[in-house]
Structure 1
């Protein structure tokens, strides 16, 4: 078999002997080291020419080249930082290494930078010269950034276990992804279309040019200087010792090289201190704290860059002691091949075994499941008409849940709770049905719709309407909540349960959640636990709040002086020979009998009357979406039986938000009942509540920054208006204190839209 002359010339440049490596020709080869027999020329030429194999060689005592391996991810790769790459070449030129031959090593994109010599030179001394030069220039010599071939191998005095130089892959092997590069690291255009033999010939020609350009005599004159400096500063860190394993020796070398580099910038003290502590304990055997401190302190202050970059010099002793105490006390390191003083378990584990804690029950899954069930119930209650088909209901519930909560429910979860929504497996909740009736009764407690004569008990023996169907009794020994009021319990508790409730003191039957809520709001809105000081309404609030306060105070006073609607329900039940439950005092039911009843969660009613959301919920939605109220919310607001109460609630909330001192806030809430204040607080957002809290916190009032403007609308309800775009509509409602107060219905397009005063004109 006849080989091309270029291949034969290649055998003269590279070492053929022991410690060669081979691998399959794949993008990420798995290299195998062969030290059992030396490589010969025949195998060299065969493996190099094989498209399916890769070959790499090591070094002997003499070499005719040196090579730097720069990884594709290295900060010194020309694609990543051309200036750093140029600085690397300039550093090598200082030792007369010029005219490099760069090639792309493989498909990965790394660079092999070759320097050739006219005659063989000492392998170890050229490696020491390059290494010392790069270290002095602060280039890191490590895998993944810059590797030097030949490397400064460790010395071995044992002839039976010789040390070897690192091996590297040969250049420009067929189908290996290698190619010739120019001085900027780009592929040579002139060599792109050459054959493998042509590329190899160009590489050998560049090698001859590089060998002729390098001054070998000047380079060899620097060998002794570099070798002595290497032995003095680096070799003692790198030589293998029989008492260290290969892994431990590598660990030791890495630490020593880090010490040699030292500080290169600020903010590195806490990175270097633990390295010195580690080295002192593991490799110096310093287990006494004082000895370790003295050794670390001596090394630290003598490390390169300490005086220039370390900003902890005034407290370096304290920081060293902190690291020494923490490391030794926690037994992070021990002397090399030593045994840590452990008894099998740590003190913390021993204490944990002697004092076992009761395992806490993880209620996360139950909480998530309950939250999913509540979302399903809320979605079902929000859908006006459920589809008849099961699949349609599932899609509708998922869509509504996503709309309400921002998170949907899975089909699997819906199937687990079919009793809530399934057309054939639906099981109504008796508590929800009765409570829905109570909600409907409480919703009419506003002055505009309450019938005081009816609540006063004009008919002493009224007949309970059909909507007040009695639910079967339930065995529930738990205390009732603020949503399960006594008027509901009287029809489903057994006699022994009634006696148990009557025997409890009134304070025990007060819901804890409500008490916590009241306690939280007491110092903020003065909910009646202490006298409200007489504060006059500021002039800027009198015009806008006079009518609301007048209506609100009248309705609340008349309502509280009259018979409670819950008492009317109790009287109806009693007249029908239902079991009687002693009701709470009027003051204790005051939080139920509000102008909106919004503290009761709206549930689907069993009566023929259509259920409406509470005043607080609609007011919250209107204030949150005041700039873009959708048609459905507007329609719900206009059709609500307490439309005026919603608007008054929004106005009152806006007055609280616009207040700049304590006096306007106290004036706004002065005539409100305890529950009205709670409902008003719920309407406010988180940031608005924080602003009110900040105003109520100072002990002395502060003058308001600005007055609240009360602009009377120029257009009234029922007026026919024309928009700027020419649409004709009818004003259905006028808000009092919003940016776009006019609710206009356009019959020609079938939409209801919000407008500002500047957007409308009276139609002729």
Structure 2
């Protein structure tokens, strides 16, 4: 159907109030096309026309600069190139995309599109344009509007209109343009893009009520567009748009509160257990938070809960490198968690740290280090691989600790008086008590200036913060691997 002079004048008049700042092409058809689809030309998409009709186009996004209206019209006329756009803040239309394999395609359900159109009438959209999107025989259902509307409000209204009627909005089934996009705090998020209709050699054409091809001419499409836009019940739509957005805010407020959401997140994370190395500390913390906050465990009961849940979790035996010391680590995390969290419903603050809490925590770490050193020395003796010289022995002990699944003690820790007696060549592990007393005494005398210590402890190889510091426990820090143990 050729474009009539009267239709052209009507189109120009109806869109005159929405003039574009970018110069339009001289061709009247190009002007009308750009009036509709050229309002936001950032992040346009393009692709070469596939050689075979069954092949999918490989789309690219132009992010460097916005397209120009005259370039858009030139590209639309290019039979070897496909072009597409996306909505901006305001739009004159919406589009529903129904894939050839969608359950709503006429091949699968002849009445589905009629039900979609009936649902759209509830928000004032009473006219649609049916076109075949490409040679793939998918269907694009255009929803022309007589005036600009807020794009996000329209997206929400369409979703709220279709989903309660049983339609599923997802790729490959039924896609909505504009989509209900996420809000970007720091980076602007764009609406989804779609191809332009009726491009030459693209396979796109108008369809009748029986979904049979009728015309591939742009003029016929634009004439149908003008009639459909004029026939919409804009008063009903204007009432539906702000109401849809208001209802969306209510739904957001009525969603799970933060505590319930945190609980579900913990359950999701803990259900899969270990999936690789270096996950023990994080999972023990999550087990502890769940047991203390949501189940009310504390003290030894919390230690038992963490240990039992950890050892019964998937992947524990395969991936956890701390199985020999899992209860000790469970105890350390239980103590730390009770310091920063409290059981749900207690309506209080986390219990204040008792006077001996720091001493208890340090004692647990010191005891774990001593047990690890003793185990390493015993293993080296059993293998007859315990070096005679102090430096070589210290390195051997640290390597054996790692081999046995524990964290390697720093040289500073090894040379502490109580630990030095467990491995140093000058000491006898069988007379530990006497040796420790002598070492401590000599250190005290050295501090008083009576004599110098035999050996100055070397500087530590690493200075790391504890994973149980407040900023890490509350998720405010530890974004750097330098705080993590090599074995954790």
* TM-score normalized by the length of structure 1: 0.32
Larger radius of gyration: 1
* TM-score normalized by the length of structure 2: 0.49
Larger RCO, structures 1/2 (Cα 8 Å, 6+ apart): 2
